[in-house]
Amino acid sequence: MTDQIDYIEFPSPDRAATSRFFSAAFGWSMTSYGPDYDGLNGAGIDGGVDQSDQRVGATMAIVRTDDLDDAEARVIAAGGTITLPQFDFPGGRRFHFREPGGNELAVWVERAE
């Protein structure tokens, strides 16, 4: 399956408080990936809580693809604006973009083993 939303990130200036809230309100568990990021477990979709200085300003949907370069070219051709060029992260590579209506999204590809 490619080009489907499979991850969502929640920006937060207080990762711990946001993670505690999700756990208390919905019973989701968290996996800590360091001081700035927690992964969501049991939310129905994979996701995370991002406290890093580079976090986006609003909740962001993330699309999984099989070919990151091709997806980037399609985003640009369709009128999207790249807001963060391709970069590596644990588990893969991704870029961020803004669609013409102003929503910021990301596209990622799993790291080849």
Question: Averaged over 99-104, what is the pLDDT?
Answer: 92
Instruction: Report the pLDDT value the prediction gives residue 25, as an integer from 0 to 100.
Output: 92
* Predicted TM-score of the model (pTM): 0.86
Helices within 1-113 (DSSP H only): 15-26, 68-77
In contact, 69 and 54? CB cutoff 8 Å? no
Strands 60-64 and 4-11: antiparallel
**pLDDT score recorded for residue 113:** 66
The owner of tokens 């994979």 is 46
* CA 12 to each of CA 52, 81, 84, 94: distance values in angstroms, whole numbers, following the listed order: 8, 24, 19, 20
3: left (phi over 0), alpha (psi -120 to 50) or beta: left
| Averaged pLDDT for residues 85-107 | 94
Amino acid at 72: E
Q: Write down the pLDDT at residue 78.
A: 97
Mind listing the pLDDT tens digit for each residue in 40-49? Answer: 999 999 999 9
Question: What domains, with CATH codes, occur in the chain?
Answer: 4-110 (3.10.180.10)
**Residue 98: is its pLDDT beyond 70?**
yes
How far apart are the C-alpha atoms of 37 and 109, rounded to whole Å? 19
Is 72:88 a contact under the CB 8 Å cutoff?
no
Residue 39 confidence (pLDDT) above 70: yes
Report the SS3 class of residue 23. helix
